[in-house]
Amino acid sequence: MKYLPIYFISLILSLIPFSVLASNIINVATYIEPPFADNVGGKYVGRNIRLSKQIARHLNKQINFIRCPMARCIMMMESGQTDMILSVLKTPQREKFMSYIEPAIGIQQMPVVFYTLKSKKFKVTSFKDLHSLLIGKVRGARYFEEFDNNTSLSTIEVTSRGQLVQMLLKGRIDTFIAREESIKPLIDHDDYQKLAISQYQYEVPVNGYIAVSKKSYLYEQRDEISTFIKQIQATGKLDKVYYTDP
């Protein structure tokens, strides 16, 4: 049996357009935020991970999770370096470079809160109380319009929620904005007891969406993804995949 020389095989592979190879893989921009996505023992887990795998299986494609802070994830979606991102809020700015898949995959019911230290005397009982505080937030994240668009607040941006927790515990910020479900997994019980949740909370439910980059090959399959989401939503499988945490 004759074998083709290695250099000849390499030549054949080099002639295959990169776009053909790339179109077999979905690169998912993956920000760490339990319970949506986490990395445990070198393995990605969470709601976004499970649903991404279902979509890839339906489209007969491989999946590649690219870990990035939220701001970096959004930049990679804009440039087309990643194809898809999950559980993101819809904003006019993001719609310029991302196509949001209907229907929404989930409704975020948990309120947005402000964490402070119990040892501090001040309390956050209204939005107005925030004006005198240094507030930590995740770069690139969106919370609610009144907060996101307010230019008079004193804020400091970091790349992860874990950083926010440590900065508050060390007294480097007065408060930070987050949802309780995303903070509890990041901190041990004793340290969590040092934190207080603000009386003022933003409790309006918001939709979370799948979005695809308008510069990705996957943009041409957005209708197919939408149809698939509608199908598994109608059968109840979407809730089982997305909300049933192990």
pLDDT of residue 17: 46
CA 183 to CA 37: how far, in whole Å?
Answer: 13
CA 141 to CA 133: how far, in whole Å?
Answer: 19
pLDDT averaged per 10 residues, the chain (length 246): 50 47 87 92 95 97 97 97 97 96 91 95 94 96 94 96 96 96 90 96 93 98 98 93 77
pLDDT of residue 16: 44
> What Å distances lie between residue 174 and 110, 114, 189, 241, CA to CA?
22, 10, 21, 37
pLDDT of residue 18: 41
Whether the CB-CB separation of 217 and 204 falls below 8 Å is answered with: no
Cis bond before residue 35 (omega within 30° of 0): yes
Phi-psi region of 152 (alpha: psi -120 to 50; beta: other; left: phi over 0): alpha
The model's pTM = 0.81
CB within 8 A of 167, min separation 6: which ones?
136, 156, 158, 173, 176
Give me the count of residues in the chain.
246
DSSP 228: H
Phi, psi at 49, each rounded to 5°: -70, -45
CA 168 to CA 195: how far, in whole Å?
Answer: 9
pLDDT of residue 108: 83
